[in-house]
């Protein structure tokens, strides 16, 4: 018993004509007869009474007709559902995001993506740039969105998705708070609050200062914090000054909890990057990567 036999049987019951069924199924009339005979042979029983020219179902034929309609409906529903899945993929995407992207980039990105792909579930893991890159390398996340270019990118496809700037913020009661700008050499006299060494923010800041012959590790550092919010809070409480993302500092600046100060001759702009493994990825991951590439920069 197969689907073509069931299809021929159900249609024959409804049309009560071998010629009409053959026409509807685009096959010859003998082919319909062969399918019905093969179906009866496989079941070991007759489906039609042979007493007259009219097609009269046996009690088994009646049962098979009802079941056959359900089988064909299920096949059609399954086919349509698979076509829908192909056009609107299901599945999940695990995103690893460093601090700044997780706070200001990921949520609007996911919202836009879910509008187009409502059946794909998203999980977000937040950690420092180096840890997220390692998770991607170990294939514990599908996509990484980080604050600096991955150091080991040989196995990754990497592209920029947004730009960000770092700016100096100081406590409201700090001596620099009344100044529009400071000279870069004055940083050597400051007490700094920094992100941890594995963060993209720390890496970008260190590189920018080194271009001005200032070594970040040789400056006076009060402490290192694992999140940008913690750094801003430390500055609010007059523990020191810091360089943070302009997006991250916006609220504290608006509420006048910290003061932004320009550093003459120093402009720190960075790109935020998306990285994905070059080898095989799931359909849902590829859809996400393709989607954010259309939004990039």
What is d(CA 96, CA 143) in angstroms, rounded to the nearest whole number? Answer: 6
pLDDT tens for 153-169 read 678 999 999 999 999 99
pLDDT tens for 198-245 read 888 999 999 999 999 999 989 999 999 988 999 999 999 999 999 999
pLDDT tens for 15-45 read 999 999 999 999 999 999 999 999 999 999 9
Instruction: Report residue 284 CA to chain centroid gap.
Output: 7
pLDDT at 209: 95
Q: Which two tokens stand for residue 275?
A: 């990285």
245 CB neighbour count, 10 Å cutoff: 26
What is d(CA 182, CA 167) in angstroms, rounded to the nearest whole number? Answer: 12
pLDDT at 97: 95
Task: Tell me: pLDDT of 6 over 60.
Answer: yes
pLDDT at 126: 94
Mean pLDDT, residues 164-185 taken together: 95
Q: What are the structural domain ranges in the chain? A: 3-87, 91-161+271-295, 164-269
- Is residue 174 within 8 A of residue 182, CB to CB? The reply is no
pLDDT tens for 128-162 read 888 999 999 999 999 999 988 887 667 899 999 99
3-state secondary structure of 53: coil
3-state SS string for 203-244: HHHHHHHHCCCCCHHHCEEEEEECCHHHHHHHHHCCCCEEEE
pLDDT tens for 43-73 read 999 999 877 677 889 999 999 999 999 999 9
Q: Considering only 81-90, 161-170, 255-264, which range has the smallest mean pLDDT?
A: 81-90
pLDDT tens for 279-294 read 878 888 999 999 998 8
What is d(CA 144, CA 105) in angstroms, rounded to the nearest whole number? Answer: 12
pLDDT at 153: 66
Topology agreement, domain 3-87 and domain 164-269? no
Which overall architecture, per CATH, does domain 3-87 show? Answer: Orthogonal Bundle (1.10)
Which residues are paired to 22 by β-bridges? none
Which overall architecture, per CATH, does domain 91-161+271-295 show? Answer: 3-Layer(aba) Sandwich (3.40)
The correct answer on CATH 3.40.190.10 for the domain covering 164-269 is: yes
* Strand runs labelled E in the chain: 91-97, 120-126, 143-146, 156-171, 181-183, 191-195, 220-225, 242-245, 258-264, 268-277
Instruction: Report residue 270 CA to chain centroid gap.
Output: 23
- Is residue 220 within 8 A of residue 191, CB to CB? The reply is yes
pLDDT at 128: 87
pLDDT at 106: 92
Burial class (CB in 10 A: 0-12, 13-18, 19+), 42: exposed
pLDDT at 52: 65
pTM of the model: 0.63
Task: Tell me: pLDDT of 113 over 90.
Answer: yes
pLDDT at 2: 94
DSSP one-letter code for 293: H
What is d(CA 40, CA 46) in angstroms, rounded to the nearest whole number? Answer: 6
């Amino acid at each position: 018993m197969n689907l073509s036999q069931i299809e021929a049987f159900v249609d024959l019951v409804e049309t009560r004509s071998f010629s009409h069924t053959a026409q509807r199924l685009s096959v010859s009339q003998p082919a319909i007869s062969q399918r019905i005979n093969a179906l009866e042979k496989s079941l070991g029983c007759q489906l039609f009474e042979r007493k007259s020219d009219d097609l009269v179902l046996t009690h088994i034929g009646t049962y098979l007709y009802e079941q056959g309609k359900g089988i064909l409906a299920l096949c059609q529903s399954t086919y349509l559902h698979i076509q829908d899945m192909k056009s609107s993929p299901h599945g999940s995407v695990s995103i690893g995001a460093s601090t700044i992207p997780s706070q200001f980039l990921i949520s609007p990105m996911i919202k836009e993506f879910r509008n187009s792909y409502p059946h794909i579930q998203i999980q977000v893991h937040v950690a420092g740039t180096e840890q997220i890159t390692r998770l991607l390398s170990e294939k514990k996340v599908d996509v990484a969105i980080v604050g600096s270019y991955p150091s080991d990118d040989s196995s990754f496809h990497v592209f920029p998705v947004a730009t960000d700037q770092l700016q100096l913020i100081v406590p409201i009661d700090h001596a620099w708070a009344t100044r529009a700008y400071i000279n870069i050499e004055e940083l050597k006299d400051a007490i700094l609050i920094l992100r941890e060494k594995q963060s993209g923010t720390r890496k970008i800041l260190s590189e920018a200062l080194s271009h001005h012959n200032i070594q970040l590790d040789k400056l006076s550092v009060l402490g290192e914090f694992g999140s940008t919010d913690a750094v801003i809070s430390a500055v609010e409480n007059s523990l020191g000054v810091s360089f943070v993302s302009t997006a991250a500092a916006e609220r504290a600046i608006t509420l006048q909890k910290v003061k932004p100060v320009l550093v003459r001759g120093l402009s720190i702009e960075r790109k935020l990057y998306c990285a994905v493994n070059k080898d095989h990825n799931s359909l849902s991951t590829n859809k996400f990567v393709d989607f954010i590439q259309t939004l990039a920069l």
